[in-house]
Amino acid sequence: MEGERDVIVVGAGPAGATTAVYLAQQGYNVLLLDRHQFPRDKICGDAVPAGAIETLTQLGMGDKIKQAVARGELYPLQGMLLVSPKGYKLEADFHKGKAGGDSYVAPRIYFDAIIQSYAIEAGAEFRQMQVTGPLLENGRVVGVKGKENGRSRDIRAKVVIGADGVTSAIARALRPKAEQHVDKHRAVALRAYIEGVEELPGRVEFYLYNEILPGYAWIFPTAPDRANIGLGMRLDHFRAKKKSLEEMLNAFLAMPDIKKRLKNGYELRDMATWQLNFGSQKGMQHVFDGALLVGDAAGFINPLTGGGIHNSIVSAKLAARTVHESLQKGDVSRAAMQIYERRCHNAMWSSMKRSYRFQTGLMSFPFLIDFFVKRMKANSGLAKIFLTKL
């Protein structure tokens, strides 16, 4: 058994790597673990809102982001298009009015590597390890258990951060069984990359239509003729459909407005599905004696947009602040760190509640979407929400 760390972060996605940056910058001994070496892919729509970019820039990643944009890895966005079931269009320009800020379609193979490498530069140690669960003593988390280079290993830490995504081994072991996400607060989505699609003038496109509601299909450009394409829907509705997401994607590609934009010999690659846990389910525990959960491990995805990158980064900041205060006091019990749940609630709950209300109310009734989209047409308020939160 090796020496005790101040903090072990399990998972080096946006939530874990950002938490590691915050804590390493404050001089803590941070071990960042991931089952994959980086760069690595993550199934996602890759849309990164300006709010997330702003926080990463404040942390010192501005130059790395600019360099990635110059290499063509991150694709800057100008605006968005939302198409209603009857084909009404709502367009928004991201740089008009007060909206401002830069948002990107940032394939996660590049985006996550920016934060993970910056965490190492900030002083965190990164190792590839498959974590199997928390190391427990008298009901308290005192480290992690896992497999490294095929060997079992236990590593101790004063605090463990579970940032290991939707299938979190840390959350599964620590959360009471009754607190698993139920189907109406979960979604399933398919993502692919498409090459050979016409006219992608720097805007993200959302398609709402009867077959997919409550959910949507998207085309998010990664270059002038390439895009991240996919669709997702709430899990309970998906189960009732008895159709695969792949069949649904083919039906979307066959819609006349989409089909006419596909060039001869267009190609789909890297098609894969993954799950999303919404932040709209009440009463979830995120803090335990010696551990807390961030990002998708906690379940902070917006139930309307499916966006989770921004909230991962928000929760990382709140977790780092809480862990810092607790380490200073020498008390990492649930009682001492429980304020993290209150902070997350204050930062995200009203938006989760409102989004879920929209999802269950508006998104379930196609005629209502048509009505609103027809009336709103150009709306910079919508652009602002996208830009800051997604």
The minimum distance between CB 270 and ligand FAD, in angstroms, equals 12
Binding track over 215-234 against ligand FAD, x by CB under 6 A: ---------------x-x--
Closest approach of ligand FAD to the CB of residue 274, in Å: 4
The residue (of 18 and 88) whose beta carbon lies closer to ligand FAD is 18
User: Among residues 36, 32, 68, which one has the least CA distance to residue 53?
Assistant: 68
The smaller minimum CB distance to ligand FAD, of residues 79 and 230, is found at 230
- Closest-CA residue to 16 (of 91, 98, 86, 119): 119
Q: Is 131 among the residues that bind ligand FAD (CB under 6 A)?
A: yes
Per the CB < 8 A criterion, the answer to whether 43 and 18 are in contact is no
d(CA 277, CA 23): 26
| Binding flag, residue 205, ligand FAD (CB under 6 A) | no
Strand pairing of 262-277 and 186-197?
antiparallel
Pairwise CA distance, residues 127 & 130, whole Å: 10
Q: Are strands 215-223 and 226-234 parallel, antiparallel or unpaired?
A: antiparallel
Site for ligand FAD in 253-312 (CB under 6 A): 274, 276, 295-297, 301, 306-310, 312
Task: Report whether 171 contacts 298 (CB < 8 A).
Answer: yes
Instruction: Considering only the stretches 27-35, 240-248, 253-261, 336-344, report the one whose residues sit in contact with ligand FAD under the rule CB under 6 A.
Output: 27-35
Q: Which is nearer to ligand FAD, 26 or 130 (CB)?
A: 130
Q: Sign of torsion, CA 140 146 151 155?
A: negative
Q: How many CB atoms lie within 10 A of CB 256?
A: 6
- When the beta carbons of 45 and 134 are compared against ligand FAD, the nearer one is 45
Residue 165 touching ligand FAD (CB under 6 A): yes
Which lies closer to ligand FAD via its Cβ, residue 149 or residue 264?
149
- 162 lies in the site for ligand FAD, by CB under 6 A: no
Question: In this chain, which residue has its C-beta nearest to ligand FAD?
Answer: 308
CA distance 175 to 158: 19
Q: In the complex, what is the shortest distance from the CB of residue 44 to ligand FAD, in angstroms, rounded to a whole number?
A: 4
The encoded tokens of residue 371 equal 């009505």
Can residue 43 be called a binding residue for ligand FAD (CB under 6 A)?
A: yes
Please pick, from the candidates 5, 191, 286, 317, the single residue that binds ligand FAD as defined by CB under 6 A: 191
With CB under 6 A as the contact rule, the residue among 106, 119, 157, 169 that binds ligand FAD is 169
Query: Do 301 and 307 contact (CB within 8 A), yes or no?
Result: yes
Does 235 participate in binding ligand FAD (rule CB under 6 A)?
no
> Of these, 33, 141, 192, 332, which contacts ligand FAD (CB under 6 A)?
33
Smallest distance from the beta carbon of 154 to ligand FAD, in angstroms? 14
Question: In 3-state terms, what secondary structure has residue 161?
Answer: strand
Length of the chain in terms of residues written: 390
- Considering beta carbons, is residue 15 or 258 the nearer one to ligand FAD? 15
* Type and span of the H or E element at 79: strand 79-83
- 352 is an interface residue for ligand FAD by CB under 6 A: no
Alpha-carbon distance of 218 to 153, in angstroms, equals 42
Binding status of residue 10 toward ligand FAD by CB under 6 A: yes
Q: Does 194 interact with ligand FAD (rule: CB under 6 A)?
A: no
Q: Exposed (0-12), middle (13-18) or buried (19+): which is 242, by Cβ within 10 Å?
A: exposed
User: Phi/psi of residue 280, each to 5°?
Assistant: -95, 0
Contacting positions for ligand FAD (CB under 6 A): 10-16, 33-36, 42-47, 130-131, 163-165, 169, 189, 191, 230, 232, 274, 276, 295-297, 301, 306-310, 312, 390
